[in-house]
Amino acid sequence: MKNILKTIALGQMLSLCICGTAITSQYLAERYKVNTPMLQSFINYCLLFLIYTVMLAFQSGSDNLLYILKKKWWKYILLGLADVEANYLIVRAYQYTTLTSVQLLDCFGIPVLMALSWFILYARYRVIHFIAVAVCLLGVGTMVGADILAGREDNSGSDVLIGDILVLLGASLYAVSNVCEEYIVKKLSRQEFLGMVGLFGTIISGIQLLIVEYKDIAGIHWDWKIALLFVAFALCMFCLYSFMPLVIKVTSATSVNLGILTADLYSLFFGLFLFGYKFSGLYILSFTVIMVGFILYCSTPTRNAEPAESSMPSVTSIGIDNLGLKLEENLQEAHSAVL
Whether the per-residue pLDDT at 36 is higher than 50: the answer is yes
**Is the pLDDT reported for residue 138 higher than 70?**
yes
Across the range 138-161, mean pLDDT stands at 70
Band of residue 313 on the pLDDT scale cut at 50, 70, 90: very low
Give residue 317's pLDDT band: very low, low, confident or very high (50, 70, 90): very low
* C-alpha to C-alpha distances, 321 to 37, 190, 318, 327, 332, nearest whole angstrom: 45, 29, 8, 10, 17
pLDDT computed for residue 286 by the predictor: 86
Q: How far apart are CA 311 and CA 338, in angstroms?
A: 21
pLDDT of amino acid 243: 93
- pLDDT greater than 80 at residue 315: no
Give the pLDDT band of residue 224 (cuts 50, 70, 90). very high
pLDDT of res. 208? 93
CB environment 8-23: b (16+ within 10 A), e (fewer): bebbbbbbbbbbbbbb
**CA pair distance 90, 38, nearest whole angstrom:** 11
Rounded to whole angstroms, what are the CA distances from 300 to 81, 145, 229, 242? 34, 30, 40, 26
Enclosing H/E stretch for 255: helix 253-259
Q: Across residues 164-177, what is the average pLDDT? A: 90
DSSP state for residue 95 in the 8-state scheme: T
Partners of 303 in the β-ladder: 124
160-187 vs 190-212: helix crossing angle, rounded to 10: 150
pLDDT digits (tens, 9 = 90+) for 242-272: 999 998 988 888 888 888 888 878 887 887 7
* Distance of alpha carbon 285 from alpha carbon 112, whole angstroms: 26
Domain ranges of the chain: 1-336
Q: What's the whole-number average pLDDT of the chain?
A: 82
Mean pLDDT of 146-166: 68
Length of the chain: 339
pLDDT at 163: 78
Average pLDDT of span 45-50? 96
Work out the average pLDDT over 53-73.
90
pLDDT of residue 306: 63
Confidence of residue 338 (pLDDT cuts 50, 70, 90): very low
Please report, for residues 11, 82, 187, the alpha-carbon distance to residue 75 in angstroms, rounded to integers and kept in the order given. Answer: 28, 11, 15
pLDDT at 99: 63
pLDDT, tens digit, 9 for 90 and up, residues 194-209? 999 999 999 999 999 9
Return phi, psi of residue 121, to 5°.
Answer: -100, 0
Residue pLDDT, tens place only, 73-109: 999 999 999 999 998 888 887 777 766 667 777 888 8
pLDDT of res. 308: 52
What is d(CA 68, CA 55) in angstroms, rounded to the nearest whole number? 13
Is pLDDT at 310 greater than 60 in this prediction?
A: no
Q: Which of 50-54, 188-192, 242-246, 314-318 has the lowest mean pLDDT?
A: 314-318
pTM of the full structure: 0.82
